[in-house]
Amino acid sequence: MSAGFTGPVDVTLRAHVEGLLTTAGPGGALPIVQAGEPVLRQRAATYTGQLGDLLVPFVEAMRRTMYAAPGVGLAAPQVGVGLALAVVEDRGSEQDPRERTPLPFRVLVNPDYAPADEPDGGAAQRVSFFEGCLSIDGWHALVPRLRRVRLTGQDETGAPIDETLVGWPARIIQHETDHLRGELYIDHAVPRSFASNANLVRLWGGAADPAPVAEALGFEIP
């Protein structure tokens, strides 16, 4: 167990995770639960060491699952484990207008975020882009999010995290941390903006620019 997590092992929870890892098999992905599962609507427990030495193989399995989906983030409740753990990674795209800068792989333990002021001293801004979720398979919707956030928490060794993220990386952090609060992106989305993944690509090329979608579907961009 990492020196950063000194709480007692939860035997029941550990057995549950062991079962998931055994079912996935070596190098396999974990099953992703879909909206309607109660674990997605419950606040995840603060991680204090409940998994002991299973933490490392568990987050590695989460990493494989995120890659296989594929996705840019995955929270533990999405694989049926109510602990405040998440993994994130995005290679980014220089041509993407959503400030999609690279977000290297990392493990987030007990993460939290707060609005961060702009460098010029201005108040935190909100921007709206389409989001999807591995636990709401097949759909996207427009979600207003903070453009700039301060991320706090720990990594998998227990070392503290305290940094500022901007643009698409900030959106990923908000999305995954919300999962640990029992929230889904649909709680914050513009209802009229819902579109199937297929239509979002077929009609609007993935909707990096939400304006044409808003015009076609008749909603205002927050």
Active site residues: 176
Helices of type H across the chain: 11-24, 55-68, 168-180, 197-204, 211-217
Task: To the nearest 10°, report the CA torsion of 90, 91, 94, 100.
Answer: 10
Consult the annotation and say whether 140 binds a ligand: no
Percent helix, strand and coil across the chain, each to the nearest 5: 35, 25, 40
A 10 A CB-CB count for 61 gives 23
**Rounded to whole angstroms, what are the CA distances from 59 to 24, 34, 84, 99, 179?**
13, 19, 12, 27, 16
Determine contact, residues 169/90, Cβ cutoff 8 Å. yes
Consult the annotation and say whether 175 binds a ligand: yes
Whole-angstrom distance, CA of residue 193 vs CA of residue 186: 11
Consult the annotation and say whether 133 binds a ligand: yes
Which residues touch 23 (CB under 8 Å, ≥6 apart)?
Answer: 31
Binding residue ranges = 133, 175, 179
Annotated binding site for Fe cation: 133, 175, 179
